[in-house]
A and B are shown apart, each in its own frame.
Chain A
Amino acid sequence: MLRYVPVLMIALLVIPVTAGLGMVLLPAFGYLPVLGGEQLSLAPWQALFSQPGLWRSVAVSFSSGLASTALALLVVVLFLAASQGTLLDRSLRRLVSPLLAIPHAAVAFGFAFLIAPSGLMARLISPWPSGWQSPPDALIVNDPWGLALTFGLVLKEAPFLLLMSLAALPQLQADKRLQLARSLGYAPTIAWLKVILPALYPLIRLPVYAVIAYATSVVDMALILGPRLPSTLSVSILGWFNDPDITRRFMASAAAVLQLGVTLAALISWWLLEQLVRRFSRHWLTNGSRRRGAATLTVAGRGGLALTSLTALAALLGLALFSVAGFWRFPEFLPQSLVLDHWQRSAAMLAAPLVTTGVIALVATGLATLLVVAALENEQRQHLHPRRALWLLYLPLLVPQIAFLFGLVVAAEQIGVRPQLLLVVAGHALFVLPYVYLSLGESYRRLDPRWLQVAQSLGISRNRAFWKVRLPLLLAPLLTAVAVGLAVSIGQYLPTQLLGAGRVTTVTTEAVALASGGNRRLIGVWALVQAGLPLIGFIIALALPRWLGVTQRESNR
């Protein structure tokens, strides 16, 4: 049984993605019999290329994706280089998981409330020193070049890349390497960049690629922070697919293929950038320079991540403030009164989406966790260490959601599955599974095999040893992986929207739908609920092992 799990898992990841891509590729060239497209043609492409502002959309998607990834990686790398062992390091490390758990949409709303012309930052500097008595007339959120979107993305990508780096660092003997470089006279920050980073980067390359793919094609954040008329390519595609004029589907499919091309172009550009950096840093690595620039880099490294983390926290506080704000005139920093009206009025409407969100998250995460644990157990028993299969695991994260989810709906309809809750759950599991695997895999492999050998030598069967020894020892990382899975599911916008055909409403789809309305107090309530939900999972994951009296010694080793 167990030995078929990896095949099953890969199939569950690969088949939906390829089927979805196939059912987008065909209509992109005019073939979709259900809609009367019987012949291959280039008409969809001609229609697409005659859309006004198309190239602007493409440019914004490409540039915001690449720039946000580069910025987030820079912030994380400099932070790690500059802050090892400092108090800042330890406190930010504790913040990283909660920050990562907050859904993209909630962060985007909070960030928008911070930087908007009538937002908290403008209020902070008004009326003095800015002199503004009314909100400045400037397009800050939804700016045409996607700068707000870029910075919003950085807020979410930095914690992800930090967590991935922290997970990879223990494999590198980082402490010893740093001691050695420092004993050779290198300042700590320079030492880290010269001896740790070149070894670390290959280990976080896949996560970086996943970030690029995500950032070039994100929908929910772009709906909230991105430009309008034209919007980013991904948002335009969503509009075309949902157009009442059903023949627009062909053009939308062509656009989805174009999105795939934009993401691919971004990935290739990044790869070229990697080669350039490698070539130009080769001399610097061994030129013997030990201290030059250390002070500047140290300040930048500590400041950068502290700034992004503080911004994310301030964004959440902003959400909270708006959700209870009464009358609030512009230059005043705080509302005149705090009221619970918006919460009371939303309570009734929150109930149903909350239940749906919870059910989808629990079932999808449960399924994914079951598969991942089975695959990891099989890996241990067969003494495998899959490196190449890791690429397949990343497939749903590397292919833009908007490029294959529409096709997936069409493909599902072909085999008689209508969009509904079950399809949504399956779709969520597709994105939850890789994260659960990434979160649990390293702890699972690092558990000392002698624990199980001892158990078996005491006459306990392999299966009983799994339940009696391995699972209790891995309880803490297992619960964390579940919490990560729940958080990923709760934050999903596009899969819920598309695979549920708009009829499955979760807290996230409701919150994003409020974006166009512009009622900040209502948005504050919904976004805060959305942000709070995943935290519950993390709190349980932290508290349960202690409550059960299982220490975390093993996972800390």
Chain B
Amino acid sequence: MNDAATESLTLEKVCIRLAGQALLQVNTRIAPGEVLTVMGPSGSGKSTLLAFVAGFLDSAFDAQGQVRLGEQNLLALPAEQRGIGLLFQDPLLFPHLSVAGNLRFGLPRHAPDKHRQIAQALEQVGLAGFENRDPATLSGGQQARVALMRLLLSQPRAVLLDEPFSKLDTALRQEMRALVFGQLREAGLPTLLVTHDEADAAAAGGPIIALG
């Protein structure tokens, strides 16, 4: 659904400190369609790394290094102009909007034929006809799928995943992993996944960095 995504995400000599103490160091390049997994126990700074790349780093932290998407320096841009999609533990569907409203929220303003795009996106994840449902009436797995499609419809240039499967039950987790990684690979998006679950890393099938 995003044919233009052929840029890689580069984290060059990234070093994040808290109160003078080095928290983590990363130096890597994520190719289009590749999923890099950052593993570590809680407190190892995984989420801090995501916040840094996405543009939400708390000012208490001190960060060095470069983050580039293709040739573009991301650190000079505010979060909303980086083109980096986020998927959290919670699907965070907006409760004041319907399912279609949530997807429409992700679509670019002048996207052609929004109605059809939304219908197709829902069909792709087995939720055809769910347009007018209230997100609160969906199961956890259904909500996660809508959140994924909202992300993809916004046409990001790279994606960050913050333990996106940790709140799902075991059976659902397998299914969602396959769906998420499949869709991201197909879209050719460089993806950074942080998790403490080794099964996530195995399913992602890419390189792994261990922290902490």
Contacts and interface: CB of A to CB of B under 8 A. Distances in A.
B150 A184 contact: yes
Contacts, number: 76
B97 interface: yes
Interface string A192-221: 001100110000000000000000000000
A45 B82 CA distance: 67
A177 interface: yes
Nearest to A278: B96
Given A199-B95, A199-B96, A183 B54 contact: yes
Contacts of A194: 105
Contacts of B78: 182, 188
- Best-buried of A185, A188, A194 by chain B (most CB within 10 Å): A185
Contacts of B85: 183-184
Interface stretch (A284-292, A355-363, A399-407): A284-292
Nearest to A286: B104
Interface in A245-274: none
A288 B79 contact: no
A288 B109 contact: yes
Given A177-B92, A288-B107, A185 B101 contact: no
Contacts of A191: 80
Contacts of B207: none
A286 B54 contact: no
B209 interface: no
Contacts of B192: none
A255 B202 CA distance: 77
A173 B90 CA distance: 11
B189 interface: no
B201 to A, nearest CB: 23
B186 to A, nearest CB: 20
B86 interface: yes
Contacts of B54: 179, 183
Nearest to B153: A184
B154 A184 contact: yes
Given A184-B150, A288-B105, A176 B92 contact: yes
A187 interface: yes
B106 interface: yes
A275 to B, nearest CB: 15
Contact of B79 (A173, A176, A183, A286): A183
21 contacts: A173-B90, A176-B90, A177-B92, A179-B54, A180-B88, A182-B78, A182-B79, A182-B80, A183-B86, A183-B156, A184-B85, A185-B80, A186-B80, A187-B80, A188-B78, A191-B80, A198-B94, A199-B95, A285-B97, A286-B97, A286-B105
Shortest beta-carbon contacts, A-B, top 6: A288-B109, A198-B96, A286-B104, A183-B86, A182-B80, A182-B79
Given A182-B55, A184-B154, A191-B80, 8 more contacts: A177-B94, A181-B105, A182-B79, A183-B86, A184-B80, A184-B106, A185-B81, A286-B104
Interface of B: 54-56, 78-86, 88, 90, 92, 94-97, 101, 104-111, 114, 150-151, 154, 156, 160
